[in-house]
Chain A
């Protein structure tokens, strides 16, 4: 197999020839991303923590019991999108008293389609290798030279870890290496959004996006989609109604009474309701250790800003509950809220990633060997 990282050599040579490099010991080292980005991003996108209103046509009850709707009865969810990113630290660049980590990331997103018989096929996928540095720590000439070295190579991209890095910004990260890793995650998020917005789908083929919906979906009027968040902000307060029937709940009190095969009423995200959300318990509490386990948060674009049709939300929730068969139990700690097709989409991406052994062998600094 030819070295898949050969196209990077020109960029690495540019760095070696124009600045001092302190290579990482033993070549590339995995940069781990430990905070739960999904929850933080949910907090970032949903704005106000307190919800005052409900946003559906039939708002008589806080909880609604739903019958699971299996694929054989109505096959609603056809497409699923997920992404994955892995970042490796390969060295530190020193130039004119400034320094920046040099990181390589493998980033990808995949959309899978479920056929009538339940089999999964890949509908579309994206895969990019990122070279990430902090642009402000590099001279203009060197950055331009890097851009020239990377430009035009299909599947490769150059990134500045300081800009266009929403995840790192909302987490308040300043350390350059974590910022580089989060830059890759944000890039992955953008690939997911690109797939969700651009891959053509049949008119009634619903798409499930992994995680909260970004603001780019607020005015979405294309083929139907929802976002399903496995983890979500926990500081949400619900102050519903007025007078003697007013209710004040926090998220835990709301969800502890949410029974198997039930959903909550629909709430607006922000005051305009461009995106609405609700919670669905897809697994019984009795088998889980914690009230929030087994509950997913569902978000749906609502460009008309009108209260959404309760019957539609019931159907969507019914489809979701049916997704509990099967589960990646034993493979993923979030198995109780993981949708299996999303898990498969993630596997599709990871299967395309080069192994750490290939990366360690393929990414080498082109240092000149001194003549004797």
Chain B
């Protein structure tokens, strides 16, 4: 287990005030040695084992009692150019979070323990990748350390697509498109290394036309191509015949056919919209973010949902969103009406909220009289049961966010699309 090829980069350091623990350890670095946060290091430990740590921070310490000591050391601040006659004694101290131990020993790393850069095999051991069967490995990225070592990081397919789990958490700063780009890469990786025919990918485009060109190739540098190859992947666009863009109905769609989208020109697409009759069973999702402590909104929504989906006589004349806003049973001559045991004032509030949603220029897809994808795509759906669907075009929510109303409605539409076979 002892690493004989590499030079140690430093040694474990535990002090009275700053002890090493089962969770983290510190080590000093030999002069001139550089490490960076996120480098993975290996420290010699009991029974010839290695404890692996992820560098989280690096500190430079000196024996100066305070900044004043450094000021005075430079001739009371007068000397600002020349090198000190004797450089002050100092050391670089790195802090590492314990990832694992090769023999499951979680005693703290000992003082003076030799510390090395982890090589590719050790990185895989540190991250538990060595325990993932090769056929289940999904390339998730390339770890590049400050000493030049590179290692492919893998995810376990069983924990990404099931049955063990089905979740990947991508964290990062908003607005840089890095999280989205990574998600796109990871999906490519999953499709290229797994049983693509069994996987359907649904993407919600939430920012402008970010994802409305994924079927088109992009110019890659040689360096970028090399990175893809290193991961064992092909740098390809999404297959044109497998990508289906679903774009929302817009103000001008009825006249020009153009959907409500930032993409200009739009990619090959189908337009979708939510007609009241087809969406009534999910009406509650439109109001999911509106406070309703007294439950009056829920009462009205419940009445509408059961009335329309049950085709009750009182609701038969209500065919569109406009009908709901302007016609009985909720409205007469423009005045909200009491409906069963629901006060007119509560109905009025419901109508105001619904009007604000439906009349919002961003929500033209709520005004169509039919749900287009459902009607138009049945035949195609039967021929290609597994494919990539991409929905979007405009920005319905805040930065990086997805409006739950959009998601709810879209989920409903997709259920219809997949005839109830899709779990969402």
B337 on interface, CB distance cutoff 8 Å? no
What residues on A are CB-neighbors of B65 within 8 Å? 329-331
Whether A118 lies near B85 (C-beta < 8 A) is yes
A326 and B73 in contact (CB under 8 A), knowing A120-B89, A331-B65, A344-B89?
yes
- Please name all residues of chain A whose beta carbon is closer than 8 Å to the beta carbon of B83 when the two chains form the complex: 70-72, 118
The answer to whether B31 has its CB under 8 Å from any CB of chain A is yes
A214 beta carbon closer than 8 Å to chain B:
no
Report if A287 contacts B (CB, 8 A): yes
CB-CB under 8 A for A326 and B86, given A119-B31, A331-B63, A331-B65: yes
- Contact status B74-A325, CB under 8 Å: yes
Interface size class of A (residues with CB under 8 A): 20 to 34
B residues 223-239 near A (Cβ < 8 Å) are: none
> B334 in the interface, Cβ–Cβ < 8 Å?
no
Query: Given A287-B76, A325-B79, are A330 and B85 neighbors across the interface (CB < 8 Å)?
Result: no
Q: How far is the CA of A329 from the CA of B68 in the complex (A)?
A: 8
Q: Could you name 20 residue pairs across A and B whose Cβ atoms are closer than 8 Å? A: A70-B83, A118-B83, A118-B84, A119-B31, A119-B87, A120-B86, A120-B89, A325-B74, A325-B79, A325-B84, A327-B72, A327-B73, A328-B63, A329-B72, A330-B66, A330-B69, A331-B63, A335-B72, A340-B85, A347-B63
Q: Using Cβ atoms and an 8 Å threshold, which residues of chain B touch A335?
A: 72
Considering only CB atoms and an 8 Å cut-off, how many residues of chain B contact the other chain?
22
Q: Which of A323, A326, A329, A331 has the most CB of B within 10 A?
A: A326
Q: Which residues of B contact A323 (CB under 8 A)?
A: 85-86
Q: Does A233 make an interface contact (CB < 8 A)?
A: no
| Selected contact of A114 from candidates B70, B76, B82, B86, CB within 8 Å | B86
A328 to B72, CA, bound (A): 9
Binding site for A on B (CB under 8 A): 31, 63-66, 68-70, 72-76, 79, 82-89
Q: How far is the CA of A70 from the CA of B109 in the complex (A)?
A: 42
Among residues of A, the one whose C-beta sits closest to the C-beta of B62 is A326
Map CB proximity to B onto A271-290 as digits: 1 under 8 Å, 0 otherwise. 00000000000001001000
> What distance in Å separates the Cβ of B192 from its nearest Cβ neighbour in chain A?
51
With A330-B69, A331-B65 already in contact, the answer to whether A71 and B85 are too (CB < 8 A) is: yes
Residues of A within 8 A of B85 (CB): 70-71, 118, 322-326, 340
The 3 closest A-B CB pairs, nearest first, are A330-B65, A326-B73, A325-B84
For A70, give its contact among B63, B69, B82 (CB under 8 Å). B82
Neighbouring A residues of B75 by C-beta, 8 Å: 324-325
In whole angstroms, how far apart are the Cα atoms of A84 and B308 in the complex? 94
Contact A325 B73 (CB under 8 A): yes
Inter-chain CA distance A154–B32, complex, in Å, is 36
Are the C-beta atoms of B69 and A328 separated by less than 8 Å?
yes
